[in-house]
Copies of this chain bind each other. A is one copy, B any other.
């Protein structure tokens, strides 16, 4: 799950980035409206957090522009203003929700989840055989026994499960999970796949992550 934060104050931007990364979202920051709209349009994000007050192009303007091209990706406004007027205006411009600064991080998280839930059309848990992944609580159970994964392990596994049955190409994985876009000559994926297979105890029979040589991996039941 990739999130773009369009916010000029580095302090706030980094605070949000860190918090979201702890929840294993992949977060990019754009620090002004121009960069923001450009990045939003090039990259593929699942959600956009948009500051109301931006130097140069305003948040509303960014939202307007973006909505001309993309009407699916949810946008949540971050705003210091708090009049009802502004709120209505913001939502009319195409945003899906808004949150007033200062805000409790958990509240932000909650609103993000609300926006992401209906979009994926999925539940908040995914399963692979007897393994269950809960995106909400960030836990993994195998036969009701909890298994602890690190951030990256979890993010990779979640990506595979969200695409269960479909082939996940190495390029897709390195982009979605590691956020690396150009030059890519690393063996990280192999290492983490290996870790997953070990921790989740995926031998021959039973659910497994199959490798498609020269292409990538695929998670399959049975």
Question: Which positions in A face B, CB cutoff 8 Å?
Answer: 11-12, 14-15, 18-19, 21-23, 38, 42-44, 82, 99-100, 102-107, 137-139, 148, 150-151, 166-167, 169-172, 175, 181-185, 212-216
Option from B12, B106, B170 in Cβ contact (under 8 Å) with A175: B106
Q: Which residues of chain B come closer than 8 Å to A167, judged between CB atoms?
A: 137-139
Report whether B44 and A151 are in contact in the complex, using a CB–CB cutoff of 8 Å.
no
Q: Which residues of chain B come closer than 8 Å to A102, judged between CB atoms?
A: 42-43, 181-182
> Measured between C-beta atoms, what is the minimum distance from A177 to chain B in Å?
13
> Measured between C-beta atoms, what is the minimum distance from A143 to chain B in Å?
18
Question: With A103-B42, A104-B175, A137-B167 as given contacts, are A214 and B151 in contact (CB-CB < 8 Å)?
Answer: yes
> Bound state CA distance, A139 and B215, in angstroms?
11
> Bound state CA distance, A34 and B171, in angstroms?
30
> Bound state CA distance, A28 and B184, in angstroms?
18
Option from B22, B42, B44, B170 in Cβ contact (under 8 Å) with A216: B22
A-B contact pairs, 17 of them (CB 8 A): A11-B183, A14-B183, A15-B181, A19-B169, A22-B169, A22-B170, A22-B214, A42-B99, A42-B100, A42-B103, A42-B104, A42-B107, A44-B107, A103-B181, A105-B171, A106-B172, A138-B215
> Measured between C-beta atoms, what is the minimum distance from A159 to chain B in Å?
13
Report whether A175 and B105 are in contact in the complex, using a CB–CB cutoff of 8 Å.
yes
Question: With A12-B182, A107-B44 as given contacts, are A19 and B171 in contact (CB-CB < 8 Å)?
Answer: yes
Report whether A214 and B14 are in contact in the complex, using a CB–CB cutoff of 8 Å.
no
Question: With A12-B183, A15-B182, A82-B38 as given contacts, are A105 and B139 in contact (CB-CB < 8 Å)?
Answer: no
Report whether A213 and B151 are in contact in the complex, using a CB–CB cutoff of 8 Å.
yes
A181: nearest chain-B partner, CB-CB: B102
Q: Which residues of chain B come closer than 8 Å to A21, judged between CB atoms?
A: 214
